[in-house]
Amino acid sequence: MERRVIQVGLLGFGTVGRGVAEIVSRHQNELEHQVGGPISIKSALVKDLQKERGEWNERIQLTADPADVIEDPEIDIIIEVMGGIEETKLLLEKALSHKKHIVTANKDLMAEYGSSLLQQAAEHGCDVYYEASVAGGIPILRTITEGLAADRITKMMGIVNGTTNYILTKMSKEKLAYTDVLKEAQRLGFAESDPTADVEGLDAARKMAILATLGFSAPVQLADVAVKGISGISGVDLEFCEQLGYTMKLIGIAQRDEGRLEVSVEPTLLPSSHPLANVQNEYNAVFVHGEAVGETMFYGPGAGSLPTATAVVSDLVSITKNVKRKVNGFAQHLPLYPATLKTEEEMQSQFFIRLHVEDRTGTFARVTSLFANHDVSFEKLIQLPLENKMLAEVVIITHLTSRAVYKQLINELETMDVIERVASSYRVEGGNA
């Protein structure tokens, strides 16, 4: 392989961008050994040229003009770590038109426009790699596209958002209220000042759309992902989960059965013995089930500047090897099949349902009769009186039923005169279906 210097341009020079520069600088000997030549970061796009950045002000050309990076004929590879969607998409499309290869950590962009960017990259003979867009330092995308390339993936299930996992861990282990833990997470930097994308499941949904697109070779869009966040979870819910032998996690699930897909992100009860139930704090983990290999699990830090930067630099190495071998443009994983989604009648699961009911004779018989009419049986059940009220709390874990039947049940329960309210309901995964 030729030993010319591979020149890199950065779009964005925040914590991840500086992490990338640090790794490239510190690991230059190892990187050069892997790719057969030196790698150099030539320039970086920044918002504020006056900001002091220490040694990097001297070693990297800083610019506020994207054209200085994108249109520089000496730059081979663009690393995008600036975030954003629409404006960033336009910049990357322009970079591809200038025959620049791209590494991005931008899950929002790839969930919305990934298929389009990959198609354009193939047309221009360029590479687009995006390992860091899902699960930070865990090499899950490379595992799917390379390590399990010979298998047929049928299910991916995991914790892909560190903020919500941190919040649920603290609520469960330390019996703290949601609002208190969220404030602590914001203070520690695990949660943004506006945490909506994390706590309402949108961040995880984008990652699951990317995983499903790659794992099933089908163009899964963000709108195809059913989403429910964690902001409505109470300490009472978590106490009942523990009492019944379960742990609550925000779980992303992508499943394929006979060519039909189901992709969701929602609070889910897992048996406390399940490996995902023991993934704590800000860590991520993903289960992948293949027809040949069976179950494999990938675990590690889901965020942070250096774990994310490590995934970015790994992609940089892959593209650099392709440049040296002159084989760029052949590694795009374009969808092979249509994204045919399951109907709600085809989606099967167990469910946790918590009710406040009138504490009088005949109430429970009416509730059980409703479930029986829908052919839904109980796996577990708890009934307790509520203090200072003529009410009882009933907690049910159903056997397997369809999501369509579950929704109908919830609607009918909410209209029954003997039920004050449906306090909460969640999916249950990994139980005795």
Same domain, 167 and 287: yes
Q: Is the pLDDT assigned to residue 423 strictly greater than 60?
A: yes
* Contact in structure between 179 and 231 (CB atoms under 8 Å): no
Highest mean pLDDT among 80-94, 289-303, 322-336: 80-94
pLDDT score at 302? 76
Q: How many domains does the chain have?
A: 3
Q: Which of 52, 44, 427, 19 is nearest to 251 (CA)?
A: 427
Q: Is the pLDDT assigned to residue 432 strictly greater than 60?
A: no
Catalytic residue among 42, 100, 170, 207: 207
Same domain, 196 and 258: yes
Q: Is the pLDDT assigned to residue 2 strictly greater than 70?
A: no
**Two structure tokens written together for 94:** 């322009």
- Decide if 342 is inside a domain: no
Sign of CA dihedral 64, 66, 71, 72: positive
Give the domain range for residue 270: 140-301
pLDDT score at 416? 95
Same domain, 175 and 284: yes
Condensed to tens digits (0 to 9), the pLDDT of residues 270-282 reads: 999 999 999 999 8
In the sheet with 39-45, reading across from the earlier edge strand, the strands are: 61-63, 39-45, 6-11, 77-80, 101-104, 128-129
- Decide if 57 is inside a domain: yes
- Decide if 331 is inside a domain: no
Q: In whole angstroms, give the CA distance from residue 377 to residue 162.
A: 35
Mean pLDDT of the chain: 93
Same domain, 41 and 86: yes
Determine the angle formed by the axes of helices 107-124 and 86-97, rounding to 10 degrees: 20
- Decide if 251 is inside a domain: yes
Condensed to tens digits (0 to 9), the pLDDT of residues 352-366 reads: 999 999 998 899 899
Q: Is the pLDDT assigned to residue 298 strictly greater than 50?
A: yes
- Decide if 343 is inside a domain: no
pLDDT score at 433? 38
DSSP conformation class of 264: E
CATH number of the domain within which 285 lies: 3.30.360.10
Same domain, 290 and 155: yes
Same domain, 365 and 402: yes
* Contact in structure between 196 and 227 (CB atoms under 8 Å): no
Condensed to tens digits (0 to 9), the pLDDT of residues 371-419 reads: 999 999 999 999 998 886 789 999 999 999 999 999 999 999 999 999 9
Condensed to tens digits (0 to 9), the pLDDT of residues 38-91 reads: 999 999 999 999 888 877 767 899 999 999 999 999 999 999 999 999 999 999
Same domain, 124 and 78: yes
Burial of 14 (0-12, 13-18, 19+ CB in 10 A): middle
pLDDT score at 431? 56
For 58-89, letters b (16+ CB in 10 Å) and e give: eebebbeebebbbebeebbbbbbbbbeeeebb
Q: Is the pLDDT assigned to residue 317 strictly greater than 50?
A: yes
pLDDT score at 365? 92
Condensed to tens digits (0 to 9), the pLDDT of residues 375-387 reads: 999 999 999 988 8
* Contact in structure between 182 and 195 (CB atoms under 8 Å): yes
Report helix, strand or coil for 18: helix
Average pLDDT over residues 112-127: 93
Q: In whole angstroms, give the CA distance from residue 226 to residue 247.
A: 21
At residue 294 the predicted structure's pLDDT band, cuts being 50, 70 and 90, is very high
Q: Who contacts 116 (Cβ-Cβ below 8 Å, separation ≥6)?
A: none
The separation between CA 281 and the C-alpha centre of its own chain, rounded to angstroms, equals 15
- Decide if 126 is inside a domain: yes
Same domain, 201 and 172: yes
Same domain, 265 and 123: no
Condensed to tens digits (0 to 9), the pLDDT of residues 3-45 reads: 689 999 999 999 899 999 999 999 999 999 999 999 999 999 9
Average pLDDT over residues 93-98: 98
Same domain, 159 and 291: yes
- Decide if 333 is inside a domain: no
CATH number of the domain within which 416 lies: 3.30.70.260
* Contact in structure between 140 and 235 (CB atoms under 8 Å): no
- Decide if 335 is inside a domain: no
pTM: 0.91
- Told to judge if 207 belongs to the known catalytic residues of this protein, a careful annotator would answer yes
Sign of CA dihedral 181, 184, 189, 195: positive
Tell me which residue has tokens 């341009």. Answer: 9
Q: What are phi and psi of 380, to 5 degrees?
A: -140, 150
* Dihedral, 286, 291, 294, 296 alpha carbons, nearest 10: -20
Sign of CA dihedral 65, 69, 70, 74: positive
Q: In whole angstroms, give the CA distance from residue 11 to residue 228.
A: 33
Average pLDDT over residues 319-327: 91
Same domain, 164 and 270: yes
Same domain, 30 and 146: no
Condensed to tens digits (0 to 9), the pLDDT of residues 162-196 reads: 999 999 999 999 999 999 999 998 888 778 889 99
At residue 330 the predicted structure's pLDDT band, cuts being 50, 70 and 90, is confident
